[in-house]
Amino acid sequence: MKLPAKHNNYVSDHTLFIADLKAKNPGMEAGQQAGRALLWDKPPVSIDEQERQMASAVKQQAYVYQNKN
């Protein structure tokens, strides 16, 4: 969305806050990327490994607090 000409210089408080935070902590983005890589960037799992994991999975009740009578 393009703002009208009279609002071209407007910068929101949120944008100012984030820019200030990044200026104070220059290594913050690298830390975020490292954390993201830790959670999401995993090597692909082979078909054999997937089958092994599925075969070794233990069946669980749909509602774990319900006793089987």
State the pLDDT confidence band at 1, using cuts at 50, 70 and 90.
Answer: low
Q: Which positions ≥6 away from 45 have C-beta within 8 Å?
A: 53
Q: Is the pLDDT of residue 42 over 80?
A: yes
Q: Is the pLDDT of residue 26 over 70?
A: yes
Show the tokens assigned to 8: 């071209």
Q: Is the pLDDT of residue 68 over 90?
A: no
Q: What are the residue ranges spanned by the domains of the chain?
A: 31-68
What is the arithmetic mean of pLDDT over 30-52? 92
What is the arithmetic mean of pLDDT over 14-34? 94
> What is the C-alpha to C-alpha distance for residues 68 and 7, in angstroms, rounded to an integer?
66
